[in-house]
């Protein structure tokens, strides 16, 4: 008995040692995977752009961005207004534009396209924005960071998110999806600034 007790203790000690060795070996042969958390994929210059140039939709723009202006649009000839295009930018982008007369690197423009309600109110025939159909997003890239990526060009990243699937950018090539329609605004860095009075000093 007296001899056996230390022996069991030894075996116990041995087991613990083996267990430790196994844990260390496992740890070494399966090193923890590279950090692939969402935060590690974000590019340095914009919280809405990943390192490989994918564009995500700002979800907090209604709370944290400023309203630049709204275009009320009748998309079909001789038909009533059927869309509101409500455009937002971050406060720092508005400040920089008012100071420098241009959008800074990383500037983020969100255009939400809504359906429209209309009624005769005490003011007259009134129109207002209702639910969101889709979002257009432009991110200023003053450095040409993504030369091989078709979402990027002419100094901007370009993206489109549909109301039914708000997390997925459905634009694939800005030159066919966006550029032609923005040519008339080329002299203003591709932005239709006439509708954004807050950018003026
Ligand atoms: C059918 C033409 C057309 C297409 C296609 C188009 N845009 Fe535009 N976009 C406009 C016009 C015109 C305005 C401003 C007036 C308005 O909204 O009615 C505008 C405004 C915007 C704005 C608000 C800032 C600004 O430039 O005034 C953003 C952001 C935007 N577009 C992004 C995009 C992106 C990204 C794409 C492609 C995925 C795209 N647009 C495709 C015509 C177009």
Q: Is 160 in the pocket of ligand 1 (CB under 6 A)?
A: yes
Using one digit for the tens of pLDDT, what is the confidence trace for 77-119? 999 999 999 999 999 999 999 999 999 999 999 999 999 999 9
Q: How far is the CA of 178 from the centre of ligand 1 (A)?
A: 7
In the block, which residue shows the tokens 């038909």?
79
Q: Is 113 in the pocket of ligand 1 (CB under 6 A)?
A: no
10 vs 40, higher pLDDT = 40
pLDDT of residue 2: 47
Distance CA 115, CA 104 (A): 31
Q: Is 73 in the pocket of ligand 1 (CB under 6 A)?
A: yes
8 vs 145, higher pLDDT = 145
CB–CB of 109/189 below 8 Å? no
In the block, which residue shows the tokens 């720092």?
92
Ligand 1 atom with the shortest distance to the CA of 196: 27
Residues in CB range of 52: below 8 A, 6 or more apart: 146, 149
Rounded mean pLDDT, 9-37: 51
Torsion of CA 195, 65, 112, 49, to 10 degrees: 110
Which residue's CA lies nearest to atom 41 of ligand 1?
A: 178
Which residue's CA lies nearest to atom 3 of ligand 1?
A: 181
| Residue 129 phi, psi dihedral angles, 5° rounding | -75, 135
* Percent of the chain topping pLDDT 70: 81
Distance CA 108, CA 79 (A): 32
For residue 138, what are its two tokens? 């432009």
């Amino acid at each position: 008995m007296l001899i056996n007790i230390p022996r069991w203790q030894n075996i116990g000690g041995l087991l613990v040692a083996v267990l430790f060795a196994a844990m260390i070996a496992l740890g070494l042969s399966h090193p923890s995977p590279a950090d692939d958390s969402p935060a590690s994929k974000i590019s340095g210059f914009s919280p809405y752009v990943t390192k490989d140039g994918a564009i995500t939709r700002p979800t907090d723009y209604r709370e944290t961005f400023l309203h630049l202006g709204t275009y009320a649009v009748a998309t079909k000839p001789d038909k009533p207004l059927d869309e509101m295009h409500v455009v937002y930018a971050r406060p720092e982008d508005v400040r920089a534009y008012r100071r420098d007369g241009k959008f800074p690197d990383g500037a983020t423009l969100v255009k939400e396209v809504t359906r429209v309600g209309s009624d005769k109110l005490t003011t007259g025939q009134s129109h207002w924005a209702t639910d969101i159909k889709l979002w257009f997003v432009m991110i200023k890239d003053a450095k040409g960071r993504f030369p091989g990526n078709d979402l990027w060009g002419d100094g901007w990243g370009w993206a489109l998110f549909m109301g039914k699937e708000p997390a997925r950018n459905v634009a694939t090539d800005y030159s066919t999806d966006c550029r032609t329609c923005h040519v008339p605004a080329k002299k203003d860095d591709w932005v239709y600034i006439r509708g954004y009075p807050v950018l003026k000093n």
